[in-house]
Amino acid sequence: MDLRVPELAEGVKGGTLVNILVKEGDTVRKGQDVLEIETEKAMAAVPSPGDGVVEKILVQPGTEVQVGQVIFTIKEGQARPQQAAPQPEEKKPEPETAGAAPKPGGPPVAPPSVRNLARLLNLDLSKVRGTERGGRISLEDVQRYVAGLEKRTARPAADLPDFSKFGPVRTEPLSALRKKIAERMAISWTTVPHVTQFDEIDVAKPMALAKKHGFTLTVLILKALARLLKRHAIFNASIDETAGRVIYKDYVHIGIAVDTPQGLIVPVLRDVDKKDLAEIAKELAALAERTRRRKVGLDELQGSSFTVSNQGGIGGGHFTPIVNTPDAAILGIGRAAERPVVRDKKVTVRPMLPVTLSYDHRLIDGADAARFMKALVEEIEDFKIK
């Protein structure tokens, strides 16, 4: 029986083999965690597919591995010899079929977003191999092609100077997570026309309310957002350029950007509109803790309909967050600080919270964003526990 890298999550094709939890000769039981793989989204534990003895380890920790790759073999009894990997063998031809290039001479098949990007890059799409069904070209295909083109055309040592000439240096490889962050940010920034709007919120009343009930201000903001997203549905939607439609989501799943030593990870707090403040506070704390410890499940990193990036715990004011595509918008939250403001024609000092809304201008107009921000300010400044 072969232990293969399973399909870890939708869209995840592999990762870095971080740790093998057993050694040759060890007895393993079905369901026992035997591997740890760092994907672009999280650290994933891989269980044994059956009972037996570890026979031969074929791959060492630190190696990049792909879905379906054999990591080690397990010696088992004669009861289930037919389970020794025939199914993965049958599935091998599928990627070739899905990724088949278009017929020679035929026009490249690609959605409008990909064609727009190709025009911006002055790129001939007929030279790009599409990996989706029927040879359709995706944004990731274009990115891979451009990355490969840059590698082929780059002159040795021309991009960066030899920094060691100026003083001591050290290098370290990019983690799978950091590579994926770079890839996703590049795709979002180059394919989504960003617009960003800024505002400030007087949080004197909501801060007092949060303190009275034992919550953080973030919990109140998440609840306020959930209420608004039900009323301003376009901010809880996604654009599907391939099909020429807008996808409105009847659920409110908010992605929460969490700072970890390995990089930014965005777990998803689900059904925020259906939860009370106590439930939001409890689930938010647990989700953030699991994320920092890299124990968050891969299913918890998918399905956001809106994203929040809160830097208030670190410091700073306004910043311009990048849309977490395919979400339509992201809210950036800075640190509340006392500022002089005018109230009733008098200057007074109030705790003002800087907020920033970045959004996909293909889907959301500036007037929509202005109304959303105005409603957000009012909802938070006069927050009511319902």
Q: Indicate whether 187 belongs to any domain.
A: no
Residue 106: per-residue pLDDT: 58
Mean per-residue pLDDT for 64-84? 71
Residue located via tokens 């005018």: 342
pLDDT tens readout for residues 204-239: 999 999 999 999 999 999 999 999 999 999 999 999
Domain boundary among 91, 117, 138: 91
Shared-domain flag, residues 157 and 236: no
pLDDT at 84: 40
Task: Respond yes or no: is residue 361 known to be catalytic.
Answer: yes
Structural domain boundaries, residue 10: 2-91
Could you tell me the CA-to-CA distances from 117 to 40, 62, 191, 193, 232 in Å, in that order?
A: 24, 35, 7, 11, 29
Per cent of the chain over pLDDT 70 is 85
Q: What is the pLDDT of residue 123?
A: 77
Q: Residue 83 maps to which CATH number?
A: 2.40.50.100
User: Residue 149 has what pLDDT?
Assistant: 61
Q: Do residues 303 and 215 share a domain? A: yes
CATH number, residue 261? 3.30.559.10
Can you tell me the distance from the alpha carbon of 353 to that of 338, in angstroms, rounded to the nearest whole number? 9
**Residues 44, 108 within the same domain:** no
Q: Flag whether the pTM goes above 0.85.
A: no
What pLDDT is recorded for position 18? 81
Confidence of residue 273 (pLDDT cuts 50, 70, 90): very high
Number of C-beta neighbours around residue 152 at 10 A: 7
Domain for residue 172, yes or no? no
125 in a structural domain? yes
**Catalytic position from the list 194, 232, 253, 361:** 361
Q: Give the DSSP letter of residue 374.
A: H
Q: Find the angle CA(214)-CA(275)-CA(267) to the nearest 5 degrees.
A: 90
Q: What is the mean pLDDT of residues 178-186?
A: 80
pLDDT of 379: 96
Residue 328 pLDDT exceeds 50: yes
Least reliable range by pLDDT among 30-34, 177-181, 353-357, 358-362: 177-181
Q: Do 278 and 142 share a domain, yes or no?
A: no
Place of tokens 């570890």: 54
CATH code at position 134: 4.10.320.10
Q: Are residues 40 and 155 in the same domain?
A: no
pLDDT tens track for 281-321: 999 999 999 988 888 887 888 899 999 999 878 888 899 99
| Whether residues 312 and 246 fall in one domain | yes
Q: Note the pLDDT of residue 11.
A: 65
Tokens of 2: 């072969």
pLDDT reading at 78 higher than 80 = no
| Mean pLDDT along residues 71-84 | 62
Number of domains in the chain: 3
Q: Is 320 in the same domain as 377? A: yes
Together in a domain, 144 and 65: no
Quick check: 23 pLDDT over 70? yes
Output the pLDDT for position 93: 38
pLDDT number for residue 129: 85
Burial 263-297 (b: 16+ CB within 10 A, else e): bebbbbbbebbebebeebbebbeebbebbeebebe
Q: Is residue 185 part of a domain?
A: no
pLDDT-above-90 percentage for the chain? 46
In the chain, what's the furthest Cα-to-Cα distance? 87
- pLDDT bin (cut points 50, 70, 90) of residue 186 is confident
Q: What is the pLDDT of residues 97-150, one digit of tens each?
A: 334 444 455 567 777 667 767 766 667 888 888 888 778 888 778 877 876 665
Comparing 272 with 144, the larger pLDDT belongs to 272
Mean pLDDT of all residues in the chain? 84
Q: Are residues 31 and 157 in the same domain?
A: no
Q: What is the pLDDT of residue 19?
A: 83
